A and B are shown apart, each in its own frame.
Chain A
Amino acid sequence: MEDIISLKNINYSYYGKITALKKINLSIKKGEMFSIIGLNGCGKSTLLHIINALVFPDSGELIFDGNPVTEKSLKDSGFGIRFRQRMGYIFQNPEIQLFCPTVFDELLFGPLQLNLPLEIAHERAEQTLSYLGIGNLRERPVYMLSGGEKKRVAIASVLTMNPDILLVDEPLSSLDPKTQTFFIELLLELNQAGKTIIFTTHHLDLIDHLQPRVAVLSEEHTIRKTGTASEILGDEELLISVNLIHEHIHKHGNEEHVHSHSHYRFHKH
């Protein structure tokens, strides 16, 4: 499979002082499920921002489908529009992503910008409402939705643009268990439908569920290792060194014991 996204020697810092990413090299293939894992503050979300060309690196190169992505190339309206259409970003906080008066307007926003005929845009919005089980929210103002509903609407608003690539920042953040399960199944199904999925997380059980290819970001803001889900989950030494697993006390009935590794890996629950 050919690379859809390549990052070459990316460096990024805030205000030129605080390092966020250091010498990042990555290649993501078309139709791949790919995850970036690491602790809070290691640069996962910044990396997604760079992939979506929301911010630009201090140095290094972002290649999308064989074309370099720069501030200049995005100003070429043909390339810029195609880039934004083909890459959908689901933010960690759905609230910031929703800005239209009602849920239905939110779903129509993307297709109408793409100049799709109104009937097709309506059809897409209706199908997506039904697919995500939010038909009852159709005319609801966004600010009257619960956290889980907002997340579903945020996903729907991106899906109606039919992007090839979905960037998802912390998919399970602030979701109840039922919505988490829904989201996991959705990502699997969209990936099976041919979408490239790139997500960030620090939940190792999500890696086990989705079996993506994984890049591990360290607290030094570099990529420590890239590999399959089983290679990464099996490398206990690596996960300890990047602080994704640690020793903790655990209780089963009256029995207490200490794990020196991931609770998930130890008990599989």
Chain B
Amino acid sequence: MENKIPPYLIKIADPQYDPASIKGAKLSFLDKTILNSSKAVKSIYLQAENAAKDNFIQKINPTIKVISLIYMAIVISIVSNLRTQLIITVIIFLLFIIARLKLYEVYRKILFLAFIFGFLVVLPAALNVITPGKIIFNIITFNKPSHFLIYNIPQNIGITIHGIEVVSLVFLRVLNSVSFALLVVYTTPFPSFIKSFKSIGVPDIFLMILSLAYKYIFILSRTIEETYFAFKSRLLGNIKNSSIRRLIGGRIFYIFKKSMIIYQDTYNAMVSRGYSGKVVLHSRNHFTVKDVIVLMVIVISGIVLILF
């Protein structure tokens, strides 16, 4: 070495600080962020693993699955019979079992989404103010009916039978749509999805953005994790939470800047390999007799469910 080693580095036990004077840094909010970031990667990993299973549903041609998804979304929105919707729920549940997916993990997500968008959002429709009918559970009673702007407010406000039917129907529609969509997502590898979208006419630029966004999740979570480790390794304490947040703010800027550079490089690499705005994908999604039979079964089932 050209320069002399600093004297402080020769002292092994560093006497110049007092650990008792240092308060531990609170990194719990960082831990949570990292936990969520790694959960996101884990769910993608699980999706890929599930999709790779050698199973009847996993082996169906992805294009058939995407067409079925669109077709079933239409069927589910047309069916206005509670009993038929329940039958669809049971059928999808059985399909999940056949696909050997982790029911608890999947249904936790499905029920959460269905509860928010299919139940809470439409809950007011159960009231006689929105859906008139016979009140079965009275909530509030006024002295007399009144009029507010364009609304007629009845003397008794409560839940009606017809209101419950409306809420149940919307809930089941959301539940069935979400669960069928997740069934397709969890049983189809992501690259095959992209190819299927292309075959049904989704624009190239949209597919490219989708592919890069998928890749971005991995890069981002890896960068977040590495940054977190670097922080954890050097943060001893004696630092205010506000300072930690400021440092993290700087790191977030760095992560976005880095991702911008990565994408610029990725784009340059694509251009140098002949990319000119059009995605040319080689397709291995060949249709088999089994795929055609599956499509026919789905089409016929849809018609039967609508007519039922």
A contact residues vs B (CB 8 Å cutoff): 15, 17, 49, 52, 54, 75, 77-78, 80-82, 84-85, 88-89, 91, 93, 95-97, 99-101, 109-110, 112-116, 120, 124, 127-128, 130-133, 143, 157-159, 161-162, 164, 182, 185-186, 189-190, 193-195
Report A-chain residues with C-beta under 8 Å of the C-beta of B18: 115
Contact B5 A114 (CB under 8 A): no
Report A-chain residues with C-beta under 8 Å of the C-beta of B254: 95, 99, 143
For window 5-21 of chain B, which residues contact chain A by CB distance below 8 Å? 5-14, 16-21
The residue on B at minimum CB distance from A130 is B3
> What are 27 residue pairs bridging A and B, where the CB atoms are less than 8 Å apart in the complex?
A54-B232, A75-B24, A77-B19, A80-B24, A81-B19, A81-B22, A84-B234, A85-B19, A91-B233, A97-B234, A99-B254, A113-B235, A113-B239, A114-B236, A115-B22, A116-B16, A127-B7, A127-B8, A128-B6, A130-B6, A132-B3, A133-B3, A158-B234, A190-B5, A193-B10, A195-B9, A195-B12
B contact residues vs A (CB 8 Å cutoff): 1-14, 16-24, 42, 45, 49, 223, 226-227, 229-239, 247, 250-251, 254, 257-258
The residue on B at minimum CB distance from A159 is B9
Report A-chain residues with C-beta under 8 Å of the C-beta of B5: 131, 189-190, 193
Number of A-B residue pairs having CB atoms within 8 Å of each other in the complex: 129
The 5 A-B residue pairs whose C-beta atoms are closest, nearest first, are A127-B6, A77-B24, A114-B17, A89-B233, A96-B226
Could you tell me the distance between the alpha carbons of A97 and B5 in the complex, rounded to whole angstroms? 23
Could you tell me the distance between the alpha carbons of A132 and B5 in the complex, rounded to whole angstroms? 9
The residue on B at minimum CB distance from A80 is B24
Could you tell me the distance between the alpha carbons of A162 and B13 in the complex, rounded to whole angstroms? 9
Contact B1 A189 (CB under 8 A): yes
CB distance from B276 to the nearest CB of A (A): 32
CB distance from A46 to the nearest CB of B (A): 11
Contact B229 A49 (CB under 8 A): yes
Report A-chain residues with C-beta under 8 Å of the C-beta of B1: 131, 182, 185-186, 189
Report B-chain residues with C-beta under 8 Å of the C-beta of A81: 19, 22, 24, 236-237
Contact A54 B239 (CB under 8 A): no
Contact B226 A110 (CB under 8 A): no
Report B-chain residues with C-beta under 8 Å of the C-beta of A109: 234
Contact B233 A54 (CB under 8 A): yes
Contact A77 B6 (CB under 8 A): no
Report A-chain residues with C-beta under 8 Å of the C-beta of B231: 99
Report B-chain residues with C-beta under 8 Å of the C-beta of A75: 24
Report A-chain residues with C-beta under 8 Å of the C-beta of B234: 84, 89, 97, 109-110, 113, 157-158, 161
